[in-house]
Structure 1
């Protein structure tokens, strides 16, 4: 009953918000039309009367809810209805529901030592991959859902011996809705340089399935490769994909994981490896590590803790989820004793998915209130999708999920929320940035199912495939993970409750005028509109009617222009145009006073900045990537973007005017700038002699670098932590001066024609991560590297055997992790 009352209160709150938003929408739209003032005043009065009437009705609904609360003995003054519901759950399962304090730290990468119970399994499987028949072979891991198949495969995939043995590796996840084309594209992504991302996307879009198979075959031919295909559900997967893998009798391997033994037997004559459950001691070890995070269990709780761990019956997923909950609770006999009884009741069923579903549902229930919508929001993404963290942060902010903090930017608080979900084992890290932060993440399919089920019950989110435009929707958010019915008629539903419309699926299809009419007529209160993979050829002028829009994401390479009316989206905070091929933004862009993030694939030109009434975009923090030419220099040099924290600039081709080059001198005035990317700046002496003091990351790509001059300037930046030099023009000798780069943690040298690296004493004392990629002429490394005591990771990618050998010798002295990828045969110059 309490949960029902909570739901009713939420519904009334949403209705009140919709009434207000609808009134604002109608007022703005009415004000933009040529209507006689007297008629307008009459209509305004009528609209206000209707609002007052609806609010009065909602007030009666609230009074009824409070009457019901009193009838059932729920005291409104004691706590909110939501807190009452949480307290009733606490009485049932014995949990302490207190919120988690925000913390500001980078989540460190999980070390292999945190993986429990897989040593013998890993050793056996590594041997199978390295030894045996030289012909192409398939090695398989099978086991119950949640038994750790993916974790074990990941441990093997990242094993140093495996990395050094296979000069080509790829990892792909297989969803239940498997499509051969998608799988081929995922594997090919590992084989094509990321710098060709836009070209790759355009190429793949128009390639047939057979062409992709042939392309993959040619890419892999001659290489000793390892391809991990995780979570295969059907035998037909291997039948569809096997012809794309060449067999050069060089020991190449395919590693698959599956719940079904018949899938493994179908793919290979090699007997599948059945992953056993964890033993009691292993279960307790894993449980203890996750709960106490490096600490030790108090003696008085060990017996109780072992009972909890044993109650999971050796299923790692259950152990990790339960430990993630208890890690944030009071470590007391009272709490743990109730928990034991509760877990045992959940683990008495035979169906593993039912067990996990109930456990995961329990973990959701015990989330702090501020994390619940953030977790449910993962349901918008399709199965096995690798989720970009930055996009997710902006979506959360635009949805209003992030609590206001006057001392932090909203995206920074959102990142802390994500870290909390990771700490609770609800979200998995898929990849990391060079500085150790999370770059992409995934959600387990059981957890995704939980998000969708809970969201449907709470009318938080509805996920649909193959949507008919006539169908109605009652959820606040609609995620279309399929295709729209192009033959359906449009139904008008002005009271549509959805405030977010997201297209996210594998199918690409044209978004035609009928679809636009459906959006504009039925989703007037939209705050979020993300088109994902939809082919969008144009945007109607009427988009200005979506005045509540806070986030607009477009990836279509078919879109060539934006309407000027986009400047009337007065609440727009994030405009993400990555993946489009726009040449110039409309003048209306300068009217978006609340715009905080503007992403483009680049280079995109700015419109002329001529309107004297529009002087600044005070809220703009992210501006990347903009093309600089004579027409677009002014907004940056004139101080029209005072609060930028991230800026990407691309110098227009054949642009030699000094005014364009001199824009770099004005960067010093951007006092809040933290991240800077400069592309295609080949003018001599073009880099400035000073940068903003707050800058922490600089990326130079296709930039002329005067080593002795520019490295000295960069080395004096006291807060610089990340420096990336990519395909830059510089002399054959690379200098790092003594005492320079005092805070630098990450240095990436990519595709540079340097032969010698000279480094003086005291330089880069904080360097933790060094990447040397495709520097094929670099044969001499500085001996001073061995004095870098904090160096943790060194990656040598597509580089010379000489430099790799030197680093291997240096590794024995310094003790860092070394990852070596030889230069592929087809890239040797």
Structure 2
């Protein structure tokens, strides 16, 4: 901390050096998030470099830009924008997990050095990288001593200091010692022992296994210890853990997205009276408790929001998935069809624009019981492959054209995400009917208006309709044989949605609903939309309204199950907020962009208490 905030005016590079799993990133994160650091620096940016890096992608991360926003800018132009953004500010930039000085050499000219005490903090496994950065000194993270190793093992195993089982203390200290002072190995073994029912014979087996690795090199020794935890996973958790290798190194994963992918993959064992999503959340919690998946951020309700996996654990995923022929990640152009039959879940990456190492998950497209396509746009090699991928299950497609959907083998698809660049897209009924097994359908691009056919109501397996722009959803055709969409949980950003009783009856288990109403094309009367019927959705937990003109809450009846409510625009009078304040289970109220009107609000009674 002293090195960061010293009076030295010049831009300083401060390397943190240590082997993988020794908590370099944890140390850097603690410094980065320290209140004094936040106060001292005008601008702080956290950046992960990884072994295979792209200077362009690094600059986009530093600028918080997306590829579509900067597609015409050169590397120099991006760098000049970064220089302008940082100039005059005292900044702290963390470059985590640097494997070579290449990234620094490409970017250092864009970091202004105007004598205001700015700093760049680098974490690396390699001493020669730290030396090459030209730093006067570097901080080496030491291995834990035996006492600290034992204390950490107790925390991870028992959730407390010290061992509450005297008969396990001696053998536990031996296990901690044999982890060679490496925090990651100790944490993962702690997660393993925590699920052992505290049996001495099991602890002795773990100790013998760790002792057998004592002559291996550090990285290999650590991987062997980590593999003990994988080998002892319940069989139903193994595919969920191995699936993490699909994501790029150091990738920040939305937990809800991961859950939807696991559901679509069919990894989950159904349990009576539990949704597949709830089961997936339990699996995720179990892997987190075992220290195999890391939580990066939390929701307001204390649930995992973003998660990831340590580099060494990803290496373990790579190794184990190759052993079990679980996932293959070649480029489409390099693929031999005979390879597909060797792997349970082959994962393909379109190589026309990206290498496997450079790919971002926003361009990862999963298919063939989990085959990944990266297409910007879909290349001819990918299109040629489609007829041979008859087991296609998950797909993410970027810059897709309407006609390209015809290339997708239909009935096996479970998860489909499409990005369109057009201003308006009409999905044909025949395309929807071919995707009758679909569980999750999502669209990207805010500029695009999506018009869905009536047949969307005839998809009994659909669980999530997720969009980032406005979707026009027609009223269903009402017949005696109308399908009740029992599995449907998410309707997101539906345009001018009518909550008639016929529609409400079709979606009895809806948990999340976001509706948009726009004055230029909605009916003049709010009664037309039957918003009072929302109260007839007994499982609804999340509700959002985006309304560009005035609406009275007296037109809406909320279900008592509601936990999160978001209002955007709306212009609701403050005095009507007592209606929301009376909701018994509401945990979060978000008000955005003139959601309410009036100079001030004076709550009365016990509302929001």
TM-score by length of 2: 0.90
Q: Look up the SS of the partner of 1:357 in the other structure.
A: helix
Say if 1:445 and 1:703 are closer, same or farther in 2 by CA, change over 3 A.
same
Match of 1:355 among 196, 202, 221: 221
Deviation per CA, 1:752-790, whole angstroms, max 9, x where unpaired? xxxxxxxxxxx3xxxxxxxxxxxxxxxxxxxxxxxxxxx
Residue in structure 2 matched with residue 211 of structure 1 by the alignment: 77
Residue in structure 1 matched with residue 348 of structure 2 by the alignment: 480
Match of 2:12 among 131, 137, 142: 137
Residue 624 of structure 1 and its aligned partner are, at CA, apart by 0.4
Residue in structure 2 matched with residue 274 of structure 1 by the alignment: 140
Contact 2:249–2:314 (CA under 8 A) maintained in structure 1: yes
Asked if 1:566 corresponds to 2:425, the answer is no
Deviation per CA, 1:506-549, whole angstroms, max 9, x where unpaired? xx632045523421x11112222233xx4323344635742121
Contact 1:225–1:253 (CA under 8 A) maintained in structure 2: yes
Residue in structure 2 matched with residue 326 of structure 1 by the alignment: 193
TM-score by length of 1: 0.67
Residue in structure 2 matched with residue 151 of structure 1 by the alignment: 26
Residue in structure 1 matched with residue 154 of structure 2 by the alignment: 288
Bigger radius of gyration: 1
User: What does 1:283-432 align with in structure 2 at a 5 Å threshold?
Assistant: 283-294=149-160, 296-297=162-163, 298-350=165-217, 352-432=218-298
Residue in structure 1 matched with residue 48 of structure 2 by the alignment: 173
Match of 1:677 among 539, 544, 555: 544
Contact 1:321–1:425 (CA under 8 A) maintained in structure 2: yes
Say if 1:278 and 1:296 are closer, same or farther in 2 by CA, change over 3 A.
closer
Say if 1:537 and 1:137 are closer, same or farther in 2 by CA, change over 3 A.
farther
Say if 1:128 and 1:688 are closer, same or farther in 2 by CA, change over 3 A.
farther
Q: Look up the SS of the partner of 2:206 in the other structure.
A: helix
Q: Look up the SS of the partner of 1:598 in the other structure.
A: strand
Residue 150 of structure 1 and its aligned partner are, at CA, apart by 0.8
Asked if 1:500 corresponds to 2:370, the answer is yes
CA distance in 1, matches of 2:226, 2:519: 54
Q: Look up the SS of the partner of 1:310 in the other structure.
A: helix
User: What does 1:710-721 align with in structure 2 at a 5 Å threshold?
Assistant: 711-721=577-587
Asked if 1:740 corresponds to 2:595, the answer is no
Deviation per CA, 1:53-100, whole angstroms, max 9, x where unpaired? xxxxxxxxxxxxxxxxxxxxxxxxxxxxxxxxxxxxxxxxxxxxxxxx
CA distance in 2, matches of 1:231, 1:552: 33
Q: Between Structure 1 and Structure 2, how many residues are aligned?
A: 587
Contact 1:553–1:576 (CA under 8 A) maintained in structure 2: yes
Match of 1:701 among 564, 568, 572: 568
Q: Look up the SS of the partner of 1:441 in the other structure.
A: strand
Say if 1:273 and 1:555 are closer, same or farther in 2 by CA, change over 3 A.
farther
Match of 1:265 among 118, 127, 131: 131
Query: Gaps (5+ residues) in structure 1?
Result: 1-125, 193-199, 487-496, 742-762, 764-829
Residue in structure 2 matched with residue 797 of structure 1 by the alignment: none
Say if 1:557 and 1:296 are closer, same or farther in 2 by CA, change over 3 A.
farther
Comparing 439-448 with 262-271, which one deviates more in the overlay?
Answer: 262-271
Match of 1:542 among 397, 406, 426: 406
Say if 1:131 and 1:413 are closer, same or farther in 2 by CA, change over 3 A.
same
Match of 2:108 among 234, 242, 253: 242
Residue in structure 2 matched with residue 820 of structure 1 by the alignment: none
Contact 1:674–1:697 (CA under 8 A) maintained in structure 2: yes
Query: Gaps (5+ residues) in structure 2?
Result: 355-366
Residue 160 of structure 1 and its aligned partner are, at CA, apart by 1.7
Say if 1:140 and 1:296 are closer, same or farther in 2 by CA, change over 3 A.
same
Deviation per CA, 1:269-327, whole angstroms, max 9, x where unpaired? 33111111111111111111111112641233222211111111211121112111111
Say if 1:660 and 1:226 are closer, same or farther in 2 by CA, change over 3 A.
farther
Residue 374 of structure 1 and its aligned partner are, at CA, apart by 0.5
Say if 1:369 and 1:625 are closer, same or farther in 2 by CA, change over 3 A.
same
Say if 1:136 and 1:555 are closer, same or farther in 2 by CA, change over 3 A.
farther
CA distance in 1, matches of 2:202, 2:134: 49
Q: Look up the SS of the partner of 2:334 in the other structure.
A: coil
Contact 2:51–2:99 (CA under 8 A) maintained in structure 1: yes
